[in-house]
């Protein structure tokens, strides 16, 4: 006997078929299934958490060369540090990052979900032409520290330290005079050279202002010259068997703008530190240069 299905049964089957075909596809991730969940979310659920060994801090050192783009990794979800050769670094970027500066260091953080590389242009305030380019790749690693260095500092010849009067002038005028002096002293204490300044070893023809204090010996070592200012760096040594506190005013002669020592003014017996004496460049051209002694001229008794 032939049995016919009622008309409404056929309609229900057709409806069920259309609903099944229109249902949201089932996405799979490993052995689990998630209906209607975006693949990016599924990937995050199934992602293997980083191992403790992968989260150890990392440190990289790069020589800064004009025109080169440096590449490194960047930790997601951690604060990363970039140590720059600049006195007052500023950062230019359109990447979604958070940036803070402290002294010559830059602190960078990215969102834990950040996937795209981060591009930074780092430069010194007042010297935007001398920029360092960085391309940083976010990874699940520990905090990253990147140390940017100028090759050849100190000592030796370094093309990056050739005197550039326009850069030196721009740097000196980028802040009020008192702040510029402070920045210059801080730069010297960090064993760095301001943008555009010339760096060389002290010569007999130079004229470092004398610092005359009993028990202390000052030996001139370096000259760092800018547009309006010249800094002399000397070795300050306690030649006695008792502690001595260096008195900056003992270097206070005409033309001296500022005097400082590092790591500090208190010197233990036979201990040495650096002393910085900053003068106006004009004072070195108006009669304060070293001249030969008249007693050394042949024929003079």
* Residue 85 or residue 91, greater confidence: 91
Percent of the chain predicted with pLDDT > 70: 70
- Residue 87 is predicted with a pLDDT of 73
- Coil, helix or strand at residue 90: strand
Give the mean pLDDT of the chain. 77
Only one residue has tokens 């050279």, namely 193
pLDDT band for position 66 (cuts 50, 70, 90) = low
Q: 134-192, pLDDT tens digit by residue?
A: 999 999 999 999 998 876 554 333 444 557 888 889 999 999 999 999 999 999 998 88
Residue 283 has pLDDT above 60, yes or no: yes
- Residue 52 is predicted with a pLDDT of 56
Exposure class string for 148-161: b at 16+ Cβ within 10 A, else e: bebeeebeeeeebb
pLDDT band for position 281 (cuts 50, 70, 90) = confident
Bridge partner residues of 220 (DSSP): 234
Cβ(245)–Cβ(261) below 8 Å: no
Only one residue has tokens 């990447």, namely 95
- Residue 233 is predicted with a pLDDT of 94
Does domain 53-149 correspond to CATH entry 2.60.40.1550?
yes
Which H, E and C letters describe 124-161, residue by residue?
ECCEEEEEEEEEEEEECCCCEEEEEECCCCCCCCCHHH
Residue 17 has pLDDT above 90, yes or no: no
pLDDT band for position 219 (cuts 50, 70, 90) = very high
Domain boundaries, the chain: 53-149, 161-284
Residue 22 has pLDDT above 60, yes or no: no
Taking Cα atoms as reference points, which of 137, 126, 165 lies closest to residue 71?
137
Cβ(296)–Cβ(248) below 8 Å: no
Residue 10 has pLDDT above 60, yes or no: no
Taking Cα atoms as reference points, which of 148, 146, 149, 150 lies closest to residue 81?
146
Only one residue has tokens 């240069």, namely 289
- Residue 278 is predicted with a pLDDT of 96
Residue 35 has pLDDT above 70, yes or no: no
Would you tell me how many other CB atoms lie within 10 Å of the CB of residue 208?
22
Mean pLDDT lowest among 52-61, 171-180, 283-292: 283-292
What's the CA gap between 216 and 236, in Å, rounded? 7
Which residues 6+ apart lie within 8 Å of 3 measured at CB? none
Name, of 9-13, 66-70, 249-253, the range with top average pLDDT: 249-253
- Residue 253 is predicted with a pLDDT of 79
Using only C-alpha atoms, what is the Rg of the chain? 33
Tokens of 169: 């002038």
CA–centroid distance for 71 within its chain: 15
Distances from the Cα of 237 to the Cα of 201, 222, 259, angstroms: 19, 16, 16
Mean pLDDT lowest among 17-26, 75-84, 276-285: 17-26
What's the CA gap between 288 and 255, in Å, rounded? 9
């Amino acid at each position: 006997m032939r049995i016919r299905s009622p008309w409404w049964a056929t309609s229900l089957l057709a409806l069920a078929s259309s609903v099944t075909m229109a249902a949201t596809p089932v996405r799979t991730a490993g052995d689990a299934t998630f209906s209607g969940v975006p693949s990016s979310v599924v990937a995050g659920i199934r992602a293997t958490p980083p191992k403790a060994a992968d989260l150890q801090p990392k440190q990289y050192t790069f020589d800064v060369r004009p025109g080169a783009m440096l590449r490194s990794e960047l930790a997601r979800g951690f604060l990363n540090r970039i140590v720059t050769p600049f006195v007052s670094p500023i950062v230019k970027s359109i990447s979604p990052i958070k940036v803070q500066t402290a002294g010559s260091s830059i602190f960078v953080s990215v969102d834990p979900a950040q996937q795209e590389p981060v591009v930074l242009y780092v430069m010194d305030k007042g010297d935007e032409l001398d920029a360092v380019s960085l391309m940083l790749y976010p990874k699940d690693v520990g905090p990253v520290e990147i140390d940017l260095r100028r090759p050849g500092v100190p000592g030796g010849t370094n093309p990056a330290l050739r005197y550039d009067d326009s850069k030196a002038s721009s740097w000196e005028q980028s802040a009020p005079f008192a702040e510029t002096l402070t920045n210059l002293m801080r730069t010297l204490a960090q064993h760095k050279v301001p943008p555009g300044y010339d760096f060389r070893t002290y010569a007999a023809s130079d004229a470092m202002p004398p610092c005359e204090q009993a028990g202390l010996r000052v030996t001139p070592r370096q000259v760092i010259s800018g547009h309006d200012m010249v800094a002399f760096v000397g070795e300050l040594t306690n030649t006695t068997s008792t502690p001595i506190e260096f008195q900056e005013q003992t270097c206070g002669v005409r033309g001296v703008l500022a005097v400082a020592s590092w790591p500090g003014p208190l010197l233990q017996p036979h201990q040495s530190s650096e002393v910085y004496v900053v003068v106006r460049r004009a004072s070195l051209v108006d009669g304060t240069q070293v001249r030969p002694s008249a007693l050394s001229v042949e024929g003079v008794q």
